[in-house]
Every structure is written in C-alpha cells, then in structure tokens.
Structure 1
Amino acid sequence: MQLSQTIPKPLDPLRLLWVHRFLIRQLVERELTFKFKRSRGGLLWLVLQPLLLLAGYTLVFGVILKSRWGSTGTGSSAEFALIMFAGLIFFNFFSAVVSVAPGLIVHNKPYVQKMVFPLEVLSWSTLLSALINGFVSLLIWVVFSVAIRGYVPFSLAWLPLIVIPFAMFALGCCWFLAAAGVFHPDIEHLIPMLMLMLMLLSPLFFPVTAIPEHLRFLFDFNPLAYVLEQARQVMIYGSAPDFGILAAGWVVGLLFAWLGLVSFVRNRDGFADAV
C-alpha cells in the first residue's frame, strides 16, 4: 500500500499498520536487534535500562534528597519512586519517538531511493519499538508496585484507553517531524532542548496541585500533563480516568495521527532531492 499524493483518509494511519504489518514487524525486530547488537547483554538491556533508571531515581530523589509526593510530604521514598516512575514511562516513550523523528528519513536514505518502499511505515516501526520499551518498563513498575504496596490496582485495566490515543498523538508528531526534518535539519538539534523544557513543564517530579495557581496555565497547554495525571489516576490512586479528558484525548490523538500523515505524504516527493 503506497499512499497517493492525495489527502490520506482519516483511517489511513491505522490501515497502514494492518496492510504493512509484516514489514513493520521486520523493521521493529531489526531496530531492537541492531540497537543491542554489539552488547553482551543483548535484549536483556530492555529490562536492565528501565530497572537501572528506577534504581537511580529512587536513590537520588528518595534517599539522598528525601523527596515526597505532594504538599503533605507523606509517604516513603519507595512510594515516591513508584509514582514518579509511572510518569517517566510515558515521558520516556514520547521522548523516544519524538527525538528520533527529525532524522528518521535522512538516516534511512537507502529506503528513500526505493520508489516502492512505503516510507510511512518507518514512523510506525519507531512507535512500536518505543511501545515495547514502555511495556517492559510497565512490567517492572508492576513488580515494583507489588513489592512496595503488595498489590496492583484493578483500575490498571483502564490504561490501554489512555495509551492508545497518546500513541496515536506521538505517531502524528513523528510524521510531522520526520517530514520537516528532511528540509530543516536544525530541527534535529532543537528537539532535545524542547524535550528538556517539556520535562520541566510536566508533572513528572511533582503533582499539578503543587504548582502555584498563577502558573498552572503553563500546564494547560501541555498535552503530556493530562496524560500523566490520568495515568496516575489508574496506576497509583486506583480510580477510573476522567472520561471527558479521555474522550478529548482520543479525538486529539486520532486527529494528530491523520494530520501528521497528511503532512508526510504531501512532502514525500521532495525527500529524494533533499537527502
């Protein structure tokens, strides 16, 4: 399925995944294998990386800085790490997709020269690779939750309804940035700084309620803030998500995926000359 230069249909982002599922699976397998090809640990690093990250944040914020969640300062250092790591799963997933996106086409130049190769699937393989890493981190979080609290809330079953639209939003951003990065190479250097700003303006290390009232408007324009808050509702507090916010998230996620694909397809003819 090679999309024409006409405007893609709203369901084309999902249709691409189905039609090219075998090719995408091969690309994901190649990406994960190549990433750890020269390491002795191999795919074991998929587990070790988030595990070491969790241990590092627990040591720094929980033990050394003795940080506690919220204004009351209650809870243990392990509970703080559990809450923080829940948010980091989503931020690291989004960062993994967006950080790679600007150089996605440039770094896969041989595929650009093949007219029959569906370049759109590169964003899907990037997204799914990041999702696999995120899923491994989630499993580690589940084990950590059982070790600290003795249980995992049943509300965790709501998590896919939060993850799927967020993944579609990230996919749309990936298509946008992949196309833009071909013609504007500086974007590849700008994204790391923007991701750092996004991390600082996201409720990763503190709840939204800890932010002064007159500054909360900064978080109203941060889509990641809503995702983190809803994820913690189901992962930490054991309650259902806000279905109003959830519905808006689905609309925004699917819309961004479609618009990102439209941008990518409309600019694809110029990729070969630009790279």
Structure 2
Amino acid sequence: MKIKYRRSVLGYLWSLLNPLLMMGVLIAVFSNIFRFDIPNFPVYLLAGQIIFAFFSEATSLSMNSILSAGPLIKKVYIPKYIFPLSRVISSFVNLLFSLVAMIIVIFATGAPITPAILLFPLPLLYILMFSIGMGLIMAVLAVYFRDMIHLYTVLLSAWTYLTPIFYPISAVPNYVKSIIYANPMYYFVEAFRDIVLYSKLPDLQTNIACLSFSVLSIVFGLLIFYKNQHKFVLHI
C-alpha cells in the first residue's frame, strides 16, 4: 500500500476517491443515456463496482507477483505462495477503504439501513477466497505463458460486461442470462447487493453458489500452484 501511493499527494485517500469518481462517470452515462430504471442506482452501481474492482486488481497483481519476485526467489528459499497472497491481501485492504465510499453513498442517497448490513463481511469473505484461488492460478499461468498477462486484460474487460454491474440482468436476452448465471462474479455481486442495498440475507442458492465457487477456486489454486512451484526458477 505504501509503494502504491508513494509520492501521491492524496495518498490513501485515493482508495476512497477512485470508486466515487468512477461511480460518478458511470451514473452520468447509464442513468442519463441508457436510462436503466434501477431503484437507488448509485448504491447498486457502487456495490458491483467495488466487488469487481477488487477481484480485477487482486488477480492482475497476483499474475505478475512471481515474475517480479524472480531475483529474490533465485537467491533464497521462501514460500512462493507468499507473493500472490500478499497482492490479494493488499488489494483487500484497498477494498476495505473503498467501503467508506459505500457508506457515504448509502447515507447520501437515503438507502435503507437495517441490522442485516452487519452481515456484509460474508460476501467479502467469499470474494476474498475466490480471488486467492484465482490469483494462485493466474500467477502460475503468467510464469509459463507470458502472453497471458496481455490476454487477461482483454478477458477482464469481457468479464466486466458479463457481470451485471451497471445494468440489470432483466435488460439482457435469455441466451445472455444463461452465460451470466454461469459467471461466479454474478453471485458475489448479488450477495453483496442483497445485504447493502436490499437489507436482506442472500438466499440459500446464492450462498451455495458463492461458497462452491470460493472453495473450488482455493482447492484448484493450491493444487495447481504447489504442483508447479518447484519449476518456477527455471522460467523466471
């Protein structure tokens, strides 16, 4: 975090300003041009934006973590999972700062606040687990396939549009809905929105989907990482 905001005048304040400024731009576009009729659109938008921005940043940084630590890995023995894990945790701290922006928008828009909002750590835990697993996988892919670093930027863009962040799922045709329902990020975003926007606990189906994707991500991430980590030194 210190390195990220080094020599920045506003420093950590950017963790709060970034989601607010991006929210302002997207609201101007999608509220006035496309005119999606979504109640309390600012909170709807920011909830999805915060969750997906964390995942995007965490996995992108994790992807380069082993390569950037190459000189250290070649010199001394150190558990290699530390590098992608540290990137995810750093991004998660940034996410926690962004929650301040969420609180500001909730109060500013008069969104209802009930005791259910105290359950907000639950979807954050889900997305943290999913991001750790995906971060481990992306770190391995980047070591063996450097083109993946550039390809992943394109994949993230497509993934963003296939996640209902700034549009309601009711606005897309049925054949697109089937793709969205297979998208793990859809369930993490919906679980977070259920709590902070709709003041309710995510339903059983959403919780099962979130937990399943999170556990599978962690399991496959660890298996793939530990199977390949001893060969990293030959490719970095």
Q: Structure 1: which 5+ runs fail to align? A: 1-31
Whether 1:57 and 2:26 are equivalent positions in the alignment is yes
> How far apart in 2 are the matches of 1:208 and 1:196?
18
**TM value normalised by structure 1:** 0.80
Compute the RMSD of aligned alpha carbons. Answer: 1.8
Amino acid at match of 2:100: L
Tell whether the 8 Å contact from 2:62 to 2:85 is kept in structure 1 after alignment. no
The structure 2 residue matched to 1:225, chosen from 186, 201, 208, is: 186
**Residues 184-203 of structure 1, C-alpha deviations (whole Å, 9 max, x = no match):** 10000000100000011111
> Distance between the aligned counterparts of 1:246 and 1:37, measured in 2?
39
1:132 Cα deviation from its structure 2 partner: 1.4
Deviation at 1:139, TM superposition (A): 1.6
Query: Could you say if the C-alpha distance between residues 55 and 214 of structure 1 is closer, same or farther in structure 2, counting changes exceeding 3 Å?
Result: closer
2:142 pairs with 1:189: no
2:82 is aligned to: 121
Aligned twin of 1:34: 3
1:250 to 198, 211, 217: 211
Deviations 1:202-249 (A, max 9, x none): 111112222222331111211111112222111111121112321342
Name the CA distance, whole Å, in 2 between partners of 1:191 and 1:66.
28
Q: Is the 8 A contact 1:97 1:170 kept in 2?
A: yes
Distance 1:126 1:257 in 2: 15
* Identity within the alignment, %: 27
Deviation, structure 1 residue 108: 1.6
Q: Which runs of 5+ in 2 are unaligned?
A: none
Letter in 2 for 1:34: I
Shift, 1:130, TM fit: 1.2
TM-score w.r.t. the length of structure 2 is 0.92
Hey, which bits of structure 1, 4+ residues long, moved more than 4 A? none
8 Å contact kept, 2:63–2:84: no
Is 1:92 matched with 2:53? yes
3-state SS in 2 of match to 1:105: helix
